[in-house]
Chains A and B, each alone.
Chain A
Amino acid sequence: MNKGNSMKNAAIGILYLLPAMVILGVFQIYPIIKVFLMSFYTQYNYFQHIVFEYGVGNYIQLATDPKFILALKNTSIFVFGVVPTSMILALFFAALLNSKVRLKKFFRNIYFLPFVTSTVAISMVWRWIFHSKHGILNYGLGFLGIDLIPWLIDPDWSMVSLIILSVWKTLGYNILILLTGLQNIDEQYYMASKIDGANSWKRFTRVTIPLLSPTLFFVSITSLIGSFKVFSEVYALFEKRPGPLNSALTMVYYIYDKMTNQFSYGVAAAASVVLFIIILTITMIQFLIGKRFVHYK
């Protein structure tokens, strides 16, 4: 390659990259820097885009806002409700589908259906299902002799409802990923363990789980990140409010509320940064744990 040619190549390369680079640069990379800056704007004229003052005021405001603390708490409860439940159920179903089953693809495709549906629209449907007097859920539970449960009205139940809906919605995606992981495990390992006289439970815990650990690890990270960002479900289930007595106030809802109802963009930015740092920290911790327990071939 002579020099002229490499210059020409660089020009051609940049030309091809330009459209993607401009869009990603302006709307994905610059905003990352911008959101950190914004979180330190304490005096900001939104209409003229003039920043009068920088400081940590927004973060102090967050730390002293009982609503934000509640949003943190609620989101954590939600995440710890959804992620393990969805993972255990998904592993169970994926293992079932991976054994000798007919109509494997048929079942897999049905389970995956919720993933492609609009969250807002399907949450409306669940709102009707959860209806305490006329919902089919309570009607069905009535056959089991269970009294009417105030799913969406009672602060003690609202988070449970939200978790049920989210497990229902994320299950198919997790089943699909885990099933793909299971199908990639080499038959040889099972043959070997059979010869060694391992029973099916032992095979599952000693062979399947370790070999599936990279996939399990991947699913746990994506589920966690996804759950931390819950918003549309809350909005639709509780008719635009964050649940009875703020019992379903989540972090993204808090950010949304700060932006659209209170126009406090600095505080919203600070809350976004906090959310980002939490997600990043958990991902890091998972990687560290993963390093110890995840078996890559």
Chain B
Amino acid sequence: MKNKVLRIIKYLILVIGALVTLIPFFWMLSTSFKTLGEVYQMPPGLLPNNFNFDNYRVVIEKTPMSTYLFNSVLVTTIVTVGTLVTSILAAFAFSRVKFKGRDIIFTILLSTMMVPSELLITPNFVILSKLNLINTLTALYLPWISSMFAIFLLRQYFLGIPEELYYAAKVDGCSDFKYLIKVMVPLTKPALITIALLKIVYSWNEFLWPMIMVSTPDKRTLPVGLAYFMTEAGPNYHLLLAYASIIIVPVIFIYLLLQKYIIQGITRSGIKG
């Protein structure tokens, strides 16, 4: 009897925790379909009276949404692809090519993992202004197309591939690069997907950096656009939360489809992007 009560309490707590986690998401979507009248109605209605995409249409008409979306997709894609390419190449050198000074380079680069990216914002702003890249999309992706975290993770996976395979391929006259692309990359696909997903989530949501680097509407990403829309929308929370949904819902879809990889990446390393 006592055990049964305890079990019920246990599930009750877990369900309450899940509800508290989900309510903001539910409330965001629900509000995004309401009319202004319903938004400020007391007591608030749990669901909108009718589901139509009017608010979304208004947001897309009122803001340069297509530009923001294009910028966000472009920056996220370049950051992700760039990180994969630079990490695959570097991890290969760190795991298979033996040369003097390799470990020193590795240690120096490893130290960058300890540095909070907020520390880099002021100097990077100045470095990019010297390169005449202020208020360009290049400034939004260039500093982030390589990540020591990704190199580190990938190197671990590469080291797990038996060296004999590499030497056998060498004897058969297979070039380094061909071996890397044909053997190592396919074997470490899960790790690559993990790195890609973490990078996608990270750069899609990035706010402080583009906020500082970009000044004109044609260069804004979605989160920056939302910050400007906040002033414009004022008390029109149905519009504001429709915009917020546009940013959040795609990532939730990716997460639900591929959560296995994201969870794996986090638990293996515990470090963010």
Q: Which residues of A contact B (CB under 8 A)?
A: 6, 9-10, 12-14, 16-21, 23-24, 26-32, 34-35, 38, 46, 49, 93, 96-97, 99, 101, 107-122, 124-126, 128-129, 131, 134, 136, 139, 168, 171-173, 176-177, 180, 218, 222, 225, 228-229, 231-232, 235-236, 239-240, 252, 255-256, 259-260, 265, 268-269, 272-273, 275-276, 279
Contact = CB atoms under 8 A, between A and B. Distances in A.
Contact of A269 (B101, B115, B123): B123
Contacts of B116: 225, 228-229, 275-276, 279
Interface string B206-229: 011001100000000011001100
A93 B21 CA distance: 13
B87 A20 contact: yes
Nearest to B43: A139
Interface on chain B toward A: helix, strand, loop, or mixed SS? helix
Contacts of A24: 109, 112, 146, 148
B58 interface: no
Contacts of B226: 120-121, 124
B60 interface: no
B201 A116 contact: yes
Nearest to B115: A32
A229 B20 CA distance: 25
A93, A120, A121, A268: most-surrounded residue (chain B CB, <10 A): A121
Interface size class of B (residues with CB under 8 A): 35 or more
B78 interface: no
A168 B22 CA distance: 10
B241 to A, nearest CB: 6
B255 A120 contact: no
A252 B118 contact: yes
A118 B247 contact: yes
Nearest to A31: B123
B168 interface: no
A114 B115 contact: no
B100 A6 contact: yes
Secondary structure call for the A interface? helix
Interface in B218-260: 222-223, 226-227, 230-231, 237, 240-241, 243-245, 247-248, 251-252, 255-256, 259
Contacts of A180: 267
- Which one of B148, B252, B270 has the highest number of Cβ atoms from chain A below 10 Å of its Cβ? B270
B115 A276 contact: yes
Contacts of A240: 227, 230-231
Given A12-B97, A27-B142, A28-B120, A126 B21 contact: no
A232 B92 contact: no
B1 interface: no
Nearest to B215: A260
B174 interface: no
B119 A276 contact: yes
Between B22, B127, B142, B205, the greatest number of chain A beta carbons within 10 A of the residue's beta carbon is seen for: B205
Contacts of B208: 231-232, 252, 256
B251 A236 contact: no
A171 B21 CA distance: 9
B272 to A, nearest CB: 8
Contacts of B196: none
B122 A117 contact: no
A124 B230 contact: yes
A255 B117 CA distance: 13
A250 to B, nearest CB: 11
Most chain B CB inside 10 Å of its own CB: which residue of A23, A125, A129, A276: A125
Given A20-B87, A218-B270, A31 B251 contact: no
User: Which of A10, A31, A122, A177 has the most B CB atoms < 10 Å from its CB?
Assistant: A31
Given A9-B97, A17-B105, A112-B263, A235 B123 contact: no
B90 A20 contact: yes
Given A27-B144, A121-B247, A229-B116, 20 more contacts: A13-B98, A16-B89, A17-B94, A21-B90, A31-B120, A35-B119, A101-B11, A111-B18, A115-B266, A118-B204, A118-B251, A122-B248, A124-B244, A125-B25, A136-B23, A139-B43, A176-B263, A236-B230, A252-B118, A265-B122
A177 B122 contact: no
Specify which of B13, B94, B122, B226 lies most central, judged by the most chain A CB atoms within 10 Å of its CB. B122
A203 B23 CA distance: 35
B230 A239 contact: yes
A9 B23 CA distance: 57
A176 B27 contact: no
A113 B255 contact: yes
B85 interface: yes
A177 to B, nearest CB: 5
A117 B251 contact: yes
A32 B223 contact: no
Q: Which 9 residue pairs spanning A and B have beta carbons closest together?
A: A27-B143, A16-B93, A31-B123, A23-B146, A20-B90, A34-B123, A10-B99, A121-B244, A13-B97
Interface string B56-69: 00000000000000
B125 interface: yes
Contacts of A101: 10-11, 14
